[in-house]
Structure 1
Amino acid sequence: MDPRPLTGNRPPLCGLPSRSSIGCPNRIVDYQLAEMAVLLRSGELTAEQLTIASLARLYRFEESLKGYGDNSLSVHIDAQQALTRARLADQWLSNADDPRGPAPLLCGIVLGISESLVAVARNGRPWKLEDSPLVARLYDQGAILLGPLRGSICPGGTQSGLSAIAPVARLCAAALAQTADDAFMMPSAAHAASGIKPSLGLAMGWDVPGTVARSVRDAALVLAALSEAGAAQTAPVRWPVTARSGYRPLLSTRIGVTPPRAADAPQSWQVLERFREQLARLGARLIELPDAPPCPPRGWESNLRDQRLDCMLVMSSASSGPDRLPHVPGWPMVTFPIGQSSSGASINAAFCGPHLSDARLIQAALDFQACYPHYHDSAPPLRIGSLRLANVTAPKKAWPTN
């Protein structure tokens, strides 16, 4: 199904899964954002229950996060405010006659937010969470915010690192982080998260927030909600939130692929080769490039134009350097897990394309995850350097080999 432009401030609920397709995990926090939205509307979950579950995990692991190295990881928790907003969200969800209209998709959803997105000062006063236009937009939609989240997590080395892994740690359903220097993409890739860095100017103006979740669908839903909540956009944009039907949804999609680097581990080569075979099965046409393109964006633009490519494929793993997810100012990027090495390190792929190609990249990633859901559904246990957060993820399933 072709993605439709979103209208108003509510992403279409037709992008959510059917109730019958939602399983019964052992814990509330193991539901994905789209599943939570369905269960909130059916009355099987409440925003207060979700908030209490997230707060419990934050309190449980906060000391472990603070104690990791010299990274000064921190989570600001205003439990009383979060619970108050959760109860207000429940009232909105249960009241069909609310004067504001039907509850938006993010109503009752627990989100994390990076300190770098909200740390502002007005007239010399210390910043407050409510001072941020982004926070005001989320509150208007009934979202519950936990944060600000602060701290760098290797690899990545940026203050948005904790936000990038919070959804995988089940601390929240999704998180928002600064994308000015791709601050969250490398930590997301290193911990099997799905992240979207939108084109410059599409969501919140110059400093575009990126979204991180356990699936591209969840990240796209958050981005769509943000973009359509009254923001002036630089160009008409379609935000896909559902995968296309058919067994070859990527038919006619042209993807540029470069040879693996000699410095990459052999396990990364094997995962890349398997991923390329999977893309081909879905109908994508992989265009072999002789070598890595010159420094982006100039070299990338020439490759995209000369080879008539829809996007470029880049790889990342916990053992790869940050240059494996190159920073291309203003260009969108979507990263998602495609496997892991024999040592358990996550390996992510990323689609990168020119400015305003967001919908094309997101749609391709949605199609892949719909056909191969096991990579993001059964993420490996979360590690922060040498620290392993026990019982962070659901019981681990065997990762498939094909």
Structure 2
Amino acid sequence: MGGGEGIAEAEIVAWHVKVGDVVEEDAALADVMTDKATVEMTAPVAGKILQIAGEPGEMIAIGSILAVFETEGDAERAPEPTPALEVAPNEAAQVVKPDPVPAPVEAKPEPKDEPKPEPVVARADHKRVLASPAVRQRAKDLGIDLADVKTAEDGRVRHSDLDAFLSYNAGGGYRPAGGARVDEQVKVIGLRRRIVENMAASKRAIPHFTYVEEIDVTKLEELRADLNATRGAKPKITMLPLLITAICKMLPQFPMINARYDDEANVVTRSGAVHLGMATQTDGGLMVPVIRNAEGRNVWQLATEIVRLADAARTGKVTLAELSGSTLTITSLGPLGGIATTPVINRPEVAIIGPNKVVERPVFRDGQVVAAKLMNLSISCDHRVVDGWDAASFVQALNRLLETPALLFVE
């Protein structure tokens, strides 16, 4: 299988076929992943699947055999592997020849353990309680000792007696919180494994610090409402394009924020352009598509690109080029934003910005108590590159712009 430049291996994410299946040419064989891009590999010929490269989660080398087919006319001669599959540059998948599978060994049945009698706890005042089997089973399931239940008549515990007991002892822990569930093992593969590796590497290598500031976004929300009221066919404006506009406006004064740190070369590259990574939650995990040259886009163009990239990420249509090359990342949980966040830096970047939830609270203004819309803004920075003073000064500069949003649109 061929691959993009610099790509040595890929991961099998899922198989769409199994050994013994007969497939048509161009039928889907497997999904493979490299550098957060998942590629669907297809059959180069029609035929019967004789061998596949490995299990989901296994890493396989670019150029190795993905699958072996038996094509028409092959039945009378030994099957040969199909030529290595080719994919477009930068969309490579990796495959390796699987290790031989040992013949199954017949397991000897293990002797079954004899059931052990459950211990019986004796009560000093224990006496035989009259109850039907159904009532006894229900009491057992609820963890209730029938001797504790008062009966309405003739000393026999009935369901109505259990109901009355539960009503008077609702806080006593007798009602089960929920049904028992079996343990579930989930294999960490594909995008989730990449997230694990990237986050672990970031926390190991980068000394993080986080700074949080409260921002009054009352006027910004009024501006946003006015823009949306007259937007016509333009996309709806959320808080994100306005925040990105403020970020791009202030970064020339704080170039250490918009940078990438090469650990091996010990070189910090301060980027002139703002290639803004946008953390996006998908069904498969967290992706970070990139808004290229965000500094050159107005709020409407930013809103359009945000919607396009988020949709591409969630539908699996985002390309490898759209997932790489960011110089600064913004991560937002939207209405779930909480009070504050301590986001993990998207290595090799040196900072990540996290807006939190907008809430309305009473504040003092000019000696009066008024309602204000407030939002906490978090920033995590690489302390090797960004000093605490720089991070705080940058956020305070953003604060001035966001609290006086007219400044966003003046030179």
* TM-score for the superposition, normalised by structure 1: 0.21
Which one has a larger percent helix, Structure 1 or Structure 2?
A: 1
Higher relative contact order (CA 8 A, sep 6+): 1
